[in-house]
Chain A
């Protein structure tokens, strides 16, 4: 059941953004979408609205870009609790370290295996 929920919820986030891009004649660019979803995730997470969403949809809520915003927000909150104001800055990136490192590592190996010349 969680797979179905993840598929539907994750898909709906993408569909909503695609419709937004199409309906605005691509005035909303992929760049806007990237920043907008991450920011929306941060805000929703900060006010406590994203966590129930993650409980309901699992990866359907954590894999889209808004899930990255959620991780940043939660990391910042935990960072403040343990390390004060500085923790707000350290905590966010520390919580997202897995995703960031994976991007660097996979990017590195893809560049070794293929010819990135685009």
Chain B
């Protein structure tokens, strides 16, 4: 017998849709000079955030975002049932160390850049399943920590390829509650890990587009919905080339998404003037754009129904070094005003 709230192969429909009752988005200087500057709660111009290493800076960003979301919701850490968080660094250290400071029962997540959407999906399941009343979700990335983790030391000044994306320095956090006012999470479609053989770590958008397409197509099939049922189909960090590729892929599956599709990696930077090549990326990209711009538009009812698909490239520097291709995943969540 299929599970009560499961719809189709990969989707769950929440009986009592959990509410996003507060959000916080904190961004770095470059993001603060971009087109979404006024949607962030705070812009921290110092790339070190007053700390003495990039890793400490990132964890400061995440901790501040989590604390800000709590404050906005008028909650203390002890009022929250679970903290769900993750980031891009080895052993998700930003999330682990931020969780150490907050002392909320903690479930660490790793979905690479899709983590904020993975958190939204799992958090909503915890609440609608009756296991929690309030869940805090957060995710972060930092340009300098990601370069160090996945690419080259920034001091080396290695040339970035035209398809490379710029890791967003920023953190997003949100509070999910069983009751209250705010945008609601009505469905979640958990992605399968997809790998069509792309191996270039400087072209993540192309690697992740098939995962986003796979999840979107299953979402439409499971829910019997169409593109026109959504005001916006938002992907996490496909960037310019990944966005084009996703739209082509979806057309081949019979869904013309081009008019209603946008990508956080394209929204967050001014590609012409900010020298970010193919756009933004990193956990902080979908986290800050979703917790900032998208939630604001939903609250203002300028958007009524959004399908957000967080996309993650599940590679490690070790697998890249060993010549492996890049497994990717897309997690989708339906947000309604």
Question: B118: shortest Cβ distance to chain A, in Å?
Answer: 29
> A118 touching B144 by the CB < 8 A rule?
yes
**Complex CA–CA separation, A95 to B306 (angstroms):** 65
Tally of A-B residue pairs with Cβ under 8 A? 21
Within 8 A of B (CB), among A79-118: 116-118
Task: Give the chain B neighbours of A30 by CB distance below 8 A.
Answer: 158-159
Task: Give the chain A neighbours of B153 by CB distance below 8 A.
Answer: 116, 118
Question: A117: shortest Cβ distance to chain B, in Å?
Answer: 6
Interface size counted on chain A using CB atoms at 8 A: 7
**Complex CA–CA separation, A71 to B153 (angstroms):** 28
**Complex CA–CA separation, A116 to B148 (angstroms):** 11
Is residue A26 within 8 Å, beta carbon to beta carbon, of the partner chain?
Answer: yes
Is residue B274 within 8 Å, beta carbon to beta carbon, of the partner chain?
Answer: no
Is residue B53 within 8 Å, beta carbon to beta carbon, of the partner chain?
Answer: yes
> B202 touching A116 by the CB < 8 A rule?
no
Task: Give the chain B neighbours of A59 by CB distance below 8 A.
Answer: none
Task: Give the chain B neighbours of A25 by CB distance below 8 A.
Answer: 161
Question: B320: shortest Cβ distance to chain A, in Å?
Answer: 12
Task: Give the chain B neighbours of A26 by CB distance below 8 A.
Answer: 159, 161-162, 202
Which of B154, B161, B162 is close to A118, meaning CB atoms less than 8 Å apart? Answer: B154
> What does the 1/0 interface line of B139-179 toward A look like (CB < 8 Å)?
00000100110000111101101100000000000000000
Which of B53, B156, B158, B159 is close to A117, meaning CB atoms less than 8 Å apart? Answer: B53
Name the residue of chain A whose CB is nearest to the CB of B147: A118
> A116 touching B158 by the CB < 8 A rule?
no
> A117 touching B144 by the CB < 8 A rule?
yes
Name the residue of chain B whose CB is nearest to the CB of A31: B158
Task: Give the chain B neighbours of A54 by CB distance below 8 A.
Answer: none
**Complex CA–CA separation, A21 to B162 (angstroms):** 11
**Complex CA–CA separation, A58 to B162 (angstroms):** 34
> B159 touching A118 by the CB < 8 A rule?
no
Within 8 A of A (CB), among B293-310: none
A-B pairs with lowest CB-CB distance, top 7:
A118-B154, A26-B161, A118-B153, A118-B155, A30-B158, A117-B53, A117-B54
